[in-house]
Amino acid sequence: MQERLSLEALAALPTVAALNISHSGDQVAFYADWTGHFELYTLDLATRERRQVTDGQAPKAVRAGFVWSADDSRLLFSRDHNGDERQALFDLNLASGDVSVLQHAPQSMDYAVDAHPDGQRLLVNSTRGGQMNVHVYNLSKEGEASWTALTTLPNATQAAAWSPDGAWLTLTTNKSTDLRNTDGYVMNADGSGLRRILRVREGSQDSVGEWHPDGKRVAASSDADGTHRVGLLTVETGEVQWLTPQQEGIEEDMGRFSPDGRWLSAIRNMDSTTDARALRHGDRKGAYAEIAARPGTGNAIHPRRQDAVSVHHVHDPAGSAAVQSRRRHLRGALARRVR
């Protein structure tokens, strides 16, 4: 008979969360509670060197995640400020280890989303105006002058990513009277030109994410068919190439594109098991392939080039969580045809 773990033993298991790969693709940062409370760590993917980069400054709750600066020299994360249970933005310098709080309104909740290619601007979802809306924080300025509101919509609005040239951004909001509805939008970097690009049907949860490297397409998601599926949306026309197979019980959440744009990572939930996938697209017939990481609940996958990806997974080989990284070659991966 298999031995049952006690509640105390389960509670004592360490946790690794929010794996986030650098823009250059040579490092992965993550939260772990090996010390008894959450700290931020980095892992060099070439040398496998792991480094703890915070010492008590990391948030107690890590669901808000963090982002890399444009040059990968800093991590920007959200944490309650002085125990007030309001999320402020913090700036961690990876070289010096210095952590500083950015300008914060006492009643607001600020969440870092994406660093602008110019290295000076940070895309932030914030409740500074009362409702969650899209803001820009200018890292070269101080005080209230650092903040610019890009949207002031009555319903919750959340940005996803800057375009490769920094001229546009993707966001998701609801301008319908159906409160269950969300749609995907694009907007100019200065807050002008808000335009809806994705609505599969009113009442469904439709959203847009990261930009394809060509700056003409974005990752898209919809639950209009009853389960979440991932696709590739052409911004100019609104046409979507759905990549998730239409199979009962499969749900996928969109991730990041490979540098050459041929692969899109995704997290799949099937039969109560979560794993990572890389989806290939681009030919005229809509063919794509997928490669699965090890099944589990702690996977991250980052397409690196045409024929390989880095797969990062959390496992527990001997009672303690660990982060592993490896390359998987995509040649011979299971191919599917979208018709």
Task: Walk along the chain (339 residues) and give the pLDDT tens digit of each residue.
Answer: 567 777 877 777 788 888 888 998 899 999 999 898 899 999 998 999 999 999 999 988 788 889 999 999 999 999 887 766 788 999 999 999 999 999 888 889 999 999 999 999 999 999 998 999 999 999 999 889 999 999 999 999 999 999 999 999 999 999 999 999 999 999 999 999 999 999 999 999 999 999 999 999 999 999 999 889 999 999 999 999 998 877 777 888 888 888 888 888 887 777 666 666 666 655 444 444 555 555 444 444 444 444 444 444 333 333 344 444 444 333 323 222 222
Predicted local confidence at residue 198, as pLDDT: 98
Q: What is the pLDDT of residue 217?
A: 96
What is residue 290's DSSP assignment?
E
Contact 108, 60 (CB under 8 A): no
CB atoms within 10 A of CB 243: 24
- What's the CA gap between 251 and 95, in Å, rounded? 39
- The whole-number pLDDT of residue 279 equals 64
> Are 267 and 274 within 8 A, CB to CB?
yes
Angstrom distance (rounded) from CA 222 to CA 229:
6
For residue 187, what pLDDT is reported? 98
Q: Which residues contact 167 (CB under 8 A, 6 or more apart)?
A: 188, 189
For residue 292, the model assigns a pLDDT of 52
Would you state the pLDDT for residue 282?
55
Alpha carbons 112 and 137: distance in angstroms, whole number: 9
Report d(CA 10, CA 61) in Å as an integer.
19
| Residue 245 CB coordination number (10 Å) | 13
d(CA 336, CA 245): 8
DSSP letter for 337, please.
E
- For the range 63-66, what are the long-range contacts, defined as Cβ-Cβ under 8 Å and sequence gap of 24 or more? 64/111, 64/112, 65/18, 65/20, 65/112, 66/18, 66/20, 66/29, 66/40, 66/112
* CA–CA distance, 191 with 183 (Å, rounded to integer): 17
pTM score, whole prediction = 0.82
Q: Give the span between the Cα atoms of 212 and 194, in whole angstroms.
A: 19
* 3-state helix vs strand vs coil in the chain, percent to 5: 5, 50, 50
